[in-house]
Amino acid sequence: MSQSEPTDRSRPLAGRVAVVTGGNSGIGKAIVLALARDGADVVIDFVAHPEATEELERQVHALGDRAVGVEADVSRIEGLRQLVSTAVDRFGRLDVYVNNAGVETRTSVLDTTVEEYERVMDINLKSAFFGTQVAARQMIAQGDGGRIVNVTSVHEDWPMPGNTAYCLSKGGMRMLTRTAGVELAEHGINVVGVGPGAVATPINRSTMDDPAKMAVLDAAIPLGRMAEPEEIADVVAFLAGPGASYLTATTIMADGGLIQSSPGL
Ligand code: BGC
């Protein structure tokens, strides 16, 4: 479907095709379901738990859309190409590409190993850079624009001592969003970031399992609680849809006000 055709308000992404990296758990899973709810067919990238991907495919089918899981390592260009070619081969095109896959090591500049550094940078930043490249080339070939959404973090801008490589990778994604957004604008491709604060997902398991840490975190968030993954996914779905046509080269913080009020955790 061309980007300029009118849309059904209840299914604003009908006829659109999306790829979500890191799509079978946490925020990624919620993004897959939000895009499908809004009418998109979805390629679900994953690296573990094929059974979770199969269950998610069933949930997408129940919403009336198509979904296919692809086991692909996003830190390798071949994996990224496989995601885009699957979208085109199975569903005919690519309209929305979500760079969501992410990991963190919770290590400081003093104790991060080369292996930890490379893993975080490869999965978070290199995958987003080359994912953007591979997706944008396909969108340009189609000739009618597209959307690239980078799931970053409040830590694209806000230091998190003890999570240094992660902050670097998210800071890089911030500049990727801004720079690629400017470069790709002439092709009608909007590049936007979403910066979650603390979200109830596996990446925050150790905090969620510790009532004392949770109390400190909740107190630091003006809205008083962590986000549910669906609250981040709804922002991504909006950014993929017709209402966000004039947003590009910027990040929307979805953090309950965290960075406005807190000097750091
Ligand atoms: C990190 C979490 C952290 C949250 C708020 C997220 O990007 O993944 O570990 O709790 O930011 O600081």
When pLDDT is averaged across residues 232-241 and rounded to a whole number, the result is: 98
**pLDDT confidence of 180, banded at 50, 70, 90?**
very high
Distances 100 to 23, 29, 172, 261 between C-alpha atoms, Å: 7, 10, 14, 26
pLDDT of residue 4: 55
Q: Which helix (H) or strand (E) holds 119?
A: helix 114-120
pLDDT at 79: 98
**Minimum mean pLDDT among 58-62, 143-147, 217-221: which range?**
217-221
Please give the Cα distance from 128 to 176 (Å, whole number). Answer: 8
Residue 165 pLDDT:
98
Per-residue pLDDT of 118-162, as tens digits, reads 999 999 999 999 999 999 999 999 999 999 999 999 999 999 999
Rounded distance, CA 231 to CA 188, Å? 27
Does 9 have pLDDT greater than 90?
A: no
Report the atom number in ligand 1 closest to the C-alpha of 155. 7
118, HSE (Cβ side, Cα atoms, 13 Å):
4
pLDDT band at 203 (very low <50, low <70, confident <90, very high): confident
pLDDT beyond 90 at 7: no
Q: What percent of the chain has pLDDT over 90?
A: 94
Q: What global pTM score does this model have? A: 0.96
Q: What is the pLDDT, as a whole number, of residue 6?
A: 59
Please check whether residue 52 is in contact with residue 21, taking contact to mean a CB–CB distance below 8 angstroms: no
Active site residue 166: yes
Residues 206 and 46: their CA atoms lie apart, in Å, by 22
pLDDT digits (tens, 9 = 90+) for 242-265: 999 999 999 999 999 999 997 665
**What does pLDDT average to over the chain?**
96
Residue list, ligand 1 pocket, CB within 6 Å? 104, 153-155, 160, 197-198, 203-204, 207, 265
Q: What is the pLDDT of residue 8?
A: 80
Task: Please state the rounded mean pLDDT for residues 229-238.
Answer: 98
Task: Indicate if the pLDDT at residue 28 is higher than 70.
Answer: yes
pLDDT value at 1 more than 80: no
Ligand 1 atom closest to the Cα of residue 204 is 9
CA of 198 to the centre of ligand 1 (A): 5
Best of 151, 154, 170, 251 for a ligand 1 pocket test (most atoms within 8 Å of beta carbon): 154
CA distance 148 to 101: 14
Give the C-alpha separation, 10 to 23, whole Å: 23
What confidence score (pLDDT) does residue 202 get?
85
Report helix, strand and coil shares of the chain as percent, to nearest 5.
Answer: 50, 15, 35
Ligand 1 atom 9, closest CA: 204
Find the 219 Cα to ligand 1 centroid distance in Å: 15
Mutate which of 204, 217, 265 for ligand 1 pocket (most atoms within 8 A of beta carbon): 204
CA 190 → CA 164, 184, 229, 246, distances in Å?
Answer: 29, 7, 23, 8
Distance 80 CA to ligand 1 centre (A): 25
Q: How far apart are CA 124 and CA 60, in angstroms?
A: 26
Contact partners, residue 60, CB within 8 Å, separation at least 6: 32, 33, 36, 42, 66, 67
Question: For position 156, what pLDDT does the model report?
Answer: 98
Q: Side chain identity at 187, as an amino acid letter? A: H
Distance 197 CA to ligand 1 centre (A): 6
- Structure tokens of 53? 């991907």
